[in-house]
Structure 1
């Protein structure tokens, strides 16, 4: 079984942080406060035997905090391959198969909290 984090693209007229909030709501039915940019993940299919398909992707991972009163659950219209919603303890990330295999990087970020600046032109 593969586990994945809520994710998706940015829609027209939407900021990246708005997209993070929307995807968390759509895929796990939770409200989140979007914190700092934690890290960036790149999947280059030509360098990885196309193990996740042919599309080159760049993913921005943000630290998020679940807002109180918000409980994760399966959405009414889940993604086609989604079978559930489950919190996994940081200490157990090595025991599961994440899509993509970034469990160690998530654990490392949680320990060291080394952030990357997100520079948004509209805020300059």
Structure 2
């Protein structure tokens, strides 16, 4: 493991930076969600990652989903902006960041299932099984927000 997520933890190190990131909620038949089991922390997660210089957030989410899952997606709606200073991510190389992720509801439009150097497994997992898998609470919050039917973006 080379990443530790701290969430409302007194043991969390002080963040050194905020890095813009994106994440995607991709549903299948309204009953399953696209998730990847990450190598860096061993948890299931929404596909996503950092926004690279020269990219829009839309370009970044399309690239990240393709890289991590093999699927092409179309962005449908902004779910929310997640910047809770109590979610701190510490990396093995010493970098410590405050979470800053922009989450989008996306639709799969092509490609085929594939893993990457960041993902052990990629699957469409039944929404009813979310409480039985190893997934960080912040990922569940984004998923719940996406499924809420709210037309306004969440700011958390």
Q: Quote how far apart the aligned CAs of 1:87 are.
A: 1.4
TM-score, length-scaled by structure 1: 0.72
2:103 counterpart of 1:103 = no
Measured in 2, the distance between the counterparts of 1:97 and 1:114 equals 29
Residue 43 to residue 103, structure 1, CA distance change in 2 (3 Å):
same
List runs of 5+ in structure 1 lacking aligned partners.
118-124
2:111 counterpart of 1:74 = no
Query: Counterparts in 2 of 1:30-69, with a 5 A limit?
Result: 30-44=71-85, 47=86, 50=88, 52-53=89-90, 54-67=96-109, 69=110
Show the counterpart of 2:152: 115
List runs of 5+ in structure 2 lacking aligned partners.
1-41, 91-95
Q: Return the structure number with greater relative CO, CA threshold 8 A, min gap 6.
A: 2
Secondary structure at the residue paired with 1:13?
coil
Residue 102 to residue 65, structure 1, CA distance change in 2 (3 Å):
same
Q: For this pair of structures, how many residues does the alignment match? A: 108
Q: Quote how far apart the aligned CAs of 1:91 are.
A: 2.2
TM-score, length-scaled by structure 2: 0.59
